Amino acid sequence: MTCCCECSKEKALDKLMRLEPEKTSELTAFIDGLPLVAGDVEKNRGFLVETLHRAQGIFGYLPVEVQQVVSERLGLTRSEIYGVISFYSYFTDKPIGRYKINVCLGTACFVKGAAKIVDELKAKLGVDEGETTADQKFFLGALRCVGSCSLAPVVMVNNRVYGNVTPDMVDQILADCED
Amino acid sequence: MRINSLEALKDYKSRLCGVSSGKTSILMSLGTCGLAAGGAKVADAIRAELDKGLSGKYEAVSVGCMGLCYCEPTIELRDEAGRSAIYGHVTPEQIPAILAAGLDGEAAGATKVKRTWYYPEEEENKDGVLQARIALRNTGRIDPEKIDDYLKYDGYQALGKVLKTMAPEAVSQEILDAMLRGRGGAGFPTGKKWQFAAAQPKGQKYMICNADEGDPGAFMDRAVLEGDPHSVLEAMAIGAYAIGADKGIIYIRAEYPLAIERLQKAIKQAREMGFLGKGIFGTSFDFDIELKYGAGAFVCGEETALIHSIEGKRGEPTFKPPFPAIQGLWKKPTVVNNVETYANVAAIIRKGAAWFKSVGTSGSPGTKVFALAGKINCVGLVEVPMGTTLRDIIFGLGGGILNNRGFKAVQTGGPSGGCITTKNLDTPIDYETLKSIGSMMGSGGMIVMDEDNCMVNIARFFLDFTCDESCGKCTPCRIGNRRLYEMLTDICRGKGTEETLEELRTLSNVIKDTALCGLGQTSPNPVLSTLDNFFEEYEAHVKEKRCPAGVCTALLKFTINDNCIGCGLCAKNCPTGAISGKVKSKHVIDQDKCIKCGVCQQKCKFKAIDKK
Ligand SMILES: Cc1cc2nc3c(=O)[nH]c(=O)nc-3n(C[C@H](O)[C@H](O)[C@H](O)COP(=O)(O)O)c2cc1C
Ligand code: SF4
Ligand code: SF4
Ligand code: SF4
Ligand code: FES
Ligand code: FES
């Protein structure tokens, strides 16, 4: 009989090591470098958000195994970690497309017609906001103000900023995303 | 090199200022939006031109935002005597001509921009100059990555003065006397907050900088952090001395990678010179700063939520009292101040409370930075004395409404604020007057709207934002705002009735009275203020099922007018086959089938399709 805590299964760290050895070592090295205090759960929790930031930077998202490794290393429960991941919109536990297209829906961009850009992208990509295309290429998301309001409406593709976007520019933006 | 006394610092400064290179500086604005607008290519062109033999005459300096965001890429030529020329919309091709023209010549084809600000710390107000830059005194003037540049403008002298000549109590008192009020929204007197924390028993205390800047459409904090990071570090150290803290934390949103990078560099430099770390200025005062990152949650800008987020928890607010100044981070006394609040501190210490009070209004001294955005010509940052009128800001500094459309309203205070209409354009604005006309100061975002914006739809946008960002802890906010959003959606879709309008108002007031934190307590404001100011627009939606601004698509009707030559293009493109007609005769739209996608109007080459 398997136990509900999955203790008989392969350890998360071992599994991650097997699947993604380099990324996993990078993450564990980062955690080992944190000034954690053994036994001081309260203080150690203070490093959770930056650890998740780093982990998502390394893996692209936060799969269960990564959550498990973080939970073991920081001495926090998995539910606590999931609670934090689900609270902050920056974190995701689902793999997302290679090209993260984020339309700014801050006030300045909204007033200047950002909704039309979202509609155009939805139609062109065939996905809804918050979804990734089937070929894992594009993720369509929304952001609230990237601070470039003078260029409103703004679309960000990974770290590239497009300003003064019109629905006509959507084709070009997608065409720029070539691997 | 470490600096151990105020004299040594002043010495160091005069040595820095004493070396005259005789060169004219080319200040290149390379903040986030300058870069997005193509600033890097302009910078490359400038460097290439200098390499071709102008390096004896010019020196290229990267700076942060000058506030002239609408005409990025921007550069300013400035000689050692302070004479300057600003160019906007600069292209790499214009660079040779601009550099050949220098300060006195005219570069054909290039756009010169007038300077609209003065520096109260250094100059008298010249008549007609609307902006006074105190918080933004260095942004756009210095290279944020070089501490020497900051020191040239008296950087860290306020910290030196405080540590060497003032008792901690005197520091809080000076800030209180200056009546500096929190620029993060609520306008609470900063000096009083410091006094509360200082009055707590000795022990671990924290000095926090709120750099979460969540109001979508406000970007002044980013500009300060990218353009003048040391001013925030210095002020935090001053505050820490006043309250007896040895640890500082800057909570910054992850969406600002450039600001994070500049802060990290600045912290490192300040440590090297002994302005942070152990034994600052050779005294026994220790203070150091670390960065903590947000992860995309607006409510984390609220101070108790921010503290929970730093502790690694979900960023949910808790009831105040206890106030953070009494029981904050890890239950220790904690001061949370906003970036712009801090940016004023060093200037106040250097020049004194009386000087600060000579700018602004008696109840709200000093200046406020506003981020102008939306349907306005000169989008950007302006810093004006409190008490400036909206007309001066929008039509004077902002250059009026885009495409000469009519001004409709301006939203201040972000999702917590309200809209202000023509009738209040001449109100001098400060914390109190904004409240009295149904809005609030907030962080200083100012979104200008013209006749083409539907106010019901705007209210719905803000509620959508609030629903997204509500942390879900208390019911009025979690459920109430969703209901408000649904009602507004109904109205926009033509399903609202006059009762819906009544219900909107009632529910708004209930949420205001019962929500736990500032987010919920203020979230109905956009609804109430649009109801108050644009009731006829709501009425048009519910009574006539009409959207006067032509925004709410469900209420629009597409019809074909007599311009139609019967080419059939629209019928071919209509996704629902709603258009019919014989070739070469006028077509008609079957309103029952039309889904209002607008494709036909885009396709028609003869302006034969009306949208009303
Ligand atoms: C929902 C909500 C969001 C807030 N967001 C911010 C913010 O992004 N930046 C900020 O400085 N203050 C924000 N505040 C205000 C803070 O709670 C706090 O009052 C402020 O940081 C105190 O600094 P100050 O006195 O210098 O203004 C927010 C408040 C609420 C209720
Ligand atoms: S008012 Fe909204 S954001 Fe504030 S605690 Fe309640 S649910 Fe959370
Ligand atoms: S495209 Fe224009 S001109 Fe042609 S049939 Fe349609 S409405 Fe008439
Ligand atoms: S708006 Fe769209 S659905 Fe309606 S008639 Fe035109 S093309 Fe057809
Ligand atoms: S609102 Fe879109 S960048 Fe600010
Ligand atoms: S120049 Fe870009 S933010 Fe101002």
ipTM: 0.85
- Residue A143 pairs in a beta bridge with A104
Q: Structurally, how many domains does chain B consist of? A: 5
Same domain? For A124 and A159 the reply is yes
- The residue among A49, A67, A87 that closes a domain is A87
How many domains does the structure of chain A reveal?
Answer: 2
Percentage of residues of chain B with pLDDT beyond 70: 100
Q: Is B102 left (phi over 0), alpha (psi -120 to 50) or beta?
A: left
C-alpha span between B401 and B449 (Å, rounded): 8
Mean of the pLDDT values across residues A92-115? 89
**Residue B552 confidence class, pLDDT cut points 50, 70, 90:** confident
Q: Is residue A22 part of a domain?
A: yes
The domain boundary residue, chosen from B324, B354, B384: B354
pLDDT value at position A7?
Answer: 57
What CATH number does the domain containing B445 carry? 3.10.20.600
**How many C-beta atoms lie closer than 10 Å to residue B100's C-beta?**
11
Cα separation values, B337 from A40, A120, B218, B324, B536, Å? 28, 41, 17, 11, 41
B233: how many CB neighbours lie within 10 A of its CB? 30
Q: How far apart (Å, rounded) are the C-alpha atoms in residues B342 and B338?
A: 6
% of chain B surpassing 90 pLDDT: 72
Q: Give the model's pLDDT for residue B136.
A: 96
B168-197 mean pLDDT:
95
Q: Whose CA is nearest to atom 6 of ligand 4?
A: B600
Model pLDDT for residues A15-49, shown as the tens digit of each residue: 888 888 889 889 999 999 999 888 888 889 999 99
CATH assignment of the domain containing B257: 3.40.50.11540
**Chain B environment of A147 (Cβ under 8 Å):** 32-33, 213, 219, 222, 255-256
Residue among B216, B296, B414 minimizing CB distance to A90:
B296
Residues B337-356 pLDDT 10s? 999 999 999 999 999 999 99
Which of B47-51, B272-276, B412-416 is least confident? B412-416
Q: Does B363 or A146 have the greater pLDDT score?
A: B363
- Do B348 and B374 share a domain, yes or no? no
Same structural domain for residues A79 and A114? no
Instruction: Indicate which atom in ligand 6 lies nearest the CA of residue B29.
Output: 1
Question: Same domain for B345 and B371?
Answer: no
Cα–Cα distance list, A141 to A35, A153, B96 (Å): 35, 14, 42
- Whether residue B326 lies inside any domain: the answer is yes
Q: Are residues B501 and B526 in the same domain?
A: yes
pLDDT tens column, A128-155 = 988 899 988 999 998 888 878 888 899 9
d(C-alpha A57, C-alpha B107), whole Å:
46
Both B200 and B268 in one domain: the answer is: yes
Nearest to A112 by CA among B504, B537, B539, B217: B217
B200 contacts B298 by C-beta, under 8 angstroms:
no
> Omega into B322 within 30° of 0, i.e. cis?
yes
Specify the pLDDT at position A83. 92
A67 and A109, same structural domain?
no
Residues B55 and B87 in one domain: yes
| pLDDT of B611 | 83
Enter the pTM of the model: 0.89
pLDDT of residue A1: 45
Is residue B584 left, alpha or beta, with left meaning phi > 0 and alpha meaning psi from -120 to 50? left
pLDDT at A8 over 70: no
Q: Do B33 and A47 touch (CB under 8 A)?
A: no
B555-576: pLDDT as tens digits: 888 999 999 999 999 999 998 8
| Per-residue tokens: B583 | 């070739």
CB B3 within 8 A of CB B150: no
- A108 in the same domain as A54: no
- Spatial separation of the C-alpha atoms in residues A15 and A55, rounded to whole Å: 16
Q: Is residue B127 part of a domain?
A: no
Identify whether A93 is part of a domain. no
How sure is the predictor about B53, in pLDDT bands with cuts at 50, 70 and 90? confident
CA distance A15 to chain B (A): 26
Question: What is the average per-residue pLDDT within B220-229?
Answer: 95
Q: CA of B362, closest CA in chain A: separation in Å?
A: 32
Of B33, B292, B461, the CB nearest to A148: B33
Could you tell me whether strands B206-211 and B588-589 are parallel, antiparallel, or unpaired per DSSP bridges?
A: unpaired
Same domain for B349 and B413, yes or no, is: no
Per-residue confidence (pLDDT) for residue B524, from 0 to 100: 94
Over residues B69-128, the pLDDT tens digits come to 889 899 999 998 888 999 999 999 999 999 999 888 888 888 999 889 999 988 887 777
> Measured from the CB, is residue B470 less than 6 Å from ligand 2?
yes
Structural domain boundaries, residue B502: 455-543
Strand partners, B474: none
Its domain, for residue A58, covers 6-87
Q: Is residue A1 a part of any domain in this protein? A: no
DSSP string of B238-257, one letter each residue: HHHHHHT--EEEEEE-TT-H
